[in-house]
Amino acid sequence: MPYVPGCSADVLISYAHRDNQDGWVTRLKKKLTEKLNPFLAGRAEVWFDDRIAPGVYFKEEIQQKLKGTQIFVAVVSPSYLDSEFCVSDELDWFQNHGGREIIQVLKVPLEADQEVPLPEIHYKVLYDEKDGHLLDGEPLDKILDEVVKAMADRLRELRERLPKVYVAQLRNDNLKARWDELKDGLHAEGYAVLPKGNLPLRVPDGRIREWIEAARLSVHLDNVPDDPLAQRQLVVARQIGRTVLILPEPPAEDHLPAVIDEVQKRLESDRKPAVYFIYDYYSDHERVAGLPGLIRQKLPGFDVFLPEGGEKYHKFRLQLSDGVLLFRGDAPEDWLKSQEQVLLQAAARPGRQTVEAKYFTRGPNGQSDPVRVTRGSRQEWIIERIGEPDAEDLQPFFDALRARAMVAGGSV
């Protein structure tokens, strides 16, 4: 199970199969896993496809894996650049479907007229630049240690941004195995489960309080008189006054989805209004860096969620946000199409009432009006701006969000 909740892999290695004929990529995967594990409690999931002959559904399988991957490692070589599948169906596809974290490592020197796929993103050289031979031993370890430290920091950061649920720890041997399945189920659905690690029996109540206060909701088991630790956690949770879900017994396997749905409902009923701001990090990050802060100023009391990798994070934010703002400046057309498809799927869900806006900026093209506002087929706002983005252009979107919050009983 990956370290980051809701993911299919923490790290995915993309490579040309010709570069693994001697097992070099296999050894790289093993080294990255061994070096990441101490940072991530032994839970690092580093994945690569080691099949020699792709099957009929090979592309679909890989791209399904990419949807739930946080960090993409491209093993760049002349063979990699010569592979349409590696560049188009993996690297480009990952970027166009919301993937953010890309690390490029150069296995061997490139040819004179070649360059790394993303020259604007830093890359690591894993060969001796004097004679081109592959690094090994201490020189290779030193470079990989830097890569792994950056990976671990980023994976921890991503985990911290996910919704946190405190699941009380049990010491009752008859109940613990089924209770742990609940933790694993919540983790698989994209919830960061607290506390991290096992609690000692004499853990102070103050420490339990800190963890429960850091979570949006806590889940407890009732009727465990022989488990003082479980009882203390429930007493502390009730004292704090946060949302508490108390179960009469650990859920059976066929009841797990219903319990996870109940967690979702309780989180939905106890949250601030929110805007999910979607943009392409590689093309438009610098251009929109100041917009989240301006949105918070215009909508005091609202959370503003930014894009991260992982399909479940994306779906979760779409589901729990009152407004979705899709921005496109220089992002490729393929990226825009993939994001619009996700919005169409989200809009088709029964009962969805999210306020939606698309904000497009472009250079001068002879249009006299610098800002044009129209409504789309789903009554979403379509705002087109000539020049740099300006939060004032989004006023119709902000007004609609305030009206929705008032109807929902909020005070925003």
Decide if 279 is inside a domain: yes
Is residue 2 assigned to a domain?
no
Whether 297 maps to a domain, the answer reads yes
Q: Does one domain contain both 204 and 142?
A: no
CATH number of the CATH domain containing 381: 3.40.50.360
Burial class from Cβ neighbours inside 10 Å (0-12, 13-18, 19+) for residue 85 reads: middle
Q: Is residue 221 part of a domain?
A: yes
DSSP 261-281: HHHHHHHHHS---EEEEE--H
Residues 265 and 339 in one domain: no
For the chain, give the percent of residues with pLDDT over 70. Answer: 95
User: How would residue 320 be classed by pLDDT, with cut points 50, 70 and 90?
Assistant: confident
Rounded average pLDDT over 297-319: 88
CB atoms within 10 A of CB 96: 19
Q: What's the pLDDT score for residue 51?
A: 73
Ranges 169-178, 222-231, 311-320: which has the least confidence: 311-320
Q: Domain containing 70: what range?
A: 9-160
User: What is the structure's pLDDT at 121?
Assistant: 85
295 & 395 share domain: yes
Closest by CA position to 182, among listed 251, 243, 275, 108: 251
Residue 381 pLDDT > 70: yes
126, 161, 339, 389, 405 from 381: Cα distances, Å: 48, 28, 16, 15, 17
Confidence of residue 412 (pLDDT cuts 50, 70, 90): very low
pLDDT-based confidence at residue 368 (cuts at 50, 70, 90):
low
Q: How many domains does the chain have?
A: 3
pLDDT at residue number 318: 86
1 lies in a domain?
Answer: no
pLDDT tens digits, 257-267: 999 999 988 88
Nearest alpha carbon to residue 76 among 39, 36, 102, 104: 104
Domain co-membership, 252 together with 284: no
231 within 8 A of 204, measured Cβ to Cβ: no
Q: Do 207 and 303 belong together in one domain? A: no
> Strand 381-386's sheet: what is its strand order?
303-305, 274-278, 323-328, 355-362, 381-386, 371-375
Contact 412, 406 (CB under 8 A): yes
Check whether residue 16 and residue 154 sit in a common domain.
Answer: yes
Which of the listed residues 160, 186, 215 is the one where a domain comes to its end? 160
Residues 141 and 170 placed together within one structural domain of the fold = no
User: Among 60-74, 216-230, 318-332, 347-361, whose mean pLDDT is lowest?
Assistant: 347-361
Q: For residue 309, what pLDDT is reported?
A: 81
Cβ 13 vs Cβ 73: under 8 Å: yes
Q: What is the DSSP string of 224-242?
A: -TT-HHHHHHHHHHHHHT-
Residues 103 and 71 in one domain: yes
Question: How much is the average pLDDT of 280-297?
Answer: 94
Asked if residue 105 belongs to a domain, the reply is: yes
Distance, C-alpha 351 to centroid of its chain? 25
Mean pLDDT of the chain: 90
**Which of 216, 250, 269 marks a domain boundary?**
269
The mean pLDDT value for 89-95 works out to 94
Residue 308 confidence class, pLDDT cut points 50, 70, 90:
confident
Between 134-138, 181-185, 405-409, the lowest mean confidence (pLDDT) is in: 405-409
Which bin fits 6, alpha (ψ -120 to 50), beta or left (φ > 0)?
left
Residue 125 is encoded by which pair of tokens?
């050289």
Cα separation, 35 vs 45, in Å, equals 12
Whether residues 250 and 168 share a domain: the answer is yes
| Most confidently modeled range among 16-30, 300-314, 358-372 | 16-30
Last residue in a domain, options 269, 301, 328? 269
Does 323 lie in the same domain as 211? no
In which element (H, E) is residue 147 found?
helix 137-161
**pLDDT in the model for residue 351:** 67
* Overall average pLDDT of the 229-238 stretch: 94
What pLDDT does residue 410 have?
A: 47
CA nearest to 25, candidates 12, 36, 35: 12
pLDDT tens-place string over residues 25-62: 999 999 999 999 999 999 999 999 887 555 545 788 89
Cα-Cα end-to-end distance for the chain: 40
User: 97-152: per-residue pLDDT in tens?
Assistant: 888 899 999 999 999 999 999 998 889 999 999 988 999 999 999 999 999 999 99
- 412 falls within a domain: no
| Residues 176, 127 share a domain | no
The answer to the question of residue 4 being in a domain is no
Are 196 and 297 part of one and the same domain?
no
Distance from the Cα of residue 386 to its chain's centroid:
31
User: Looking at residues 165-178, what average pLDDT do you find?
Assistant: 92
User: In this predicted structure, what is the pLDDT of residue 337?
Assistant: 93
CATH number, residue 222: 3.40.50.10140
Can you tell me whether residue 13 is helix, strand or coil?
strand
pLDDT digits (tens, 9 = 90+) for 268-281: 887 889 999 999 99
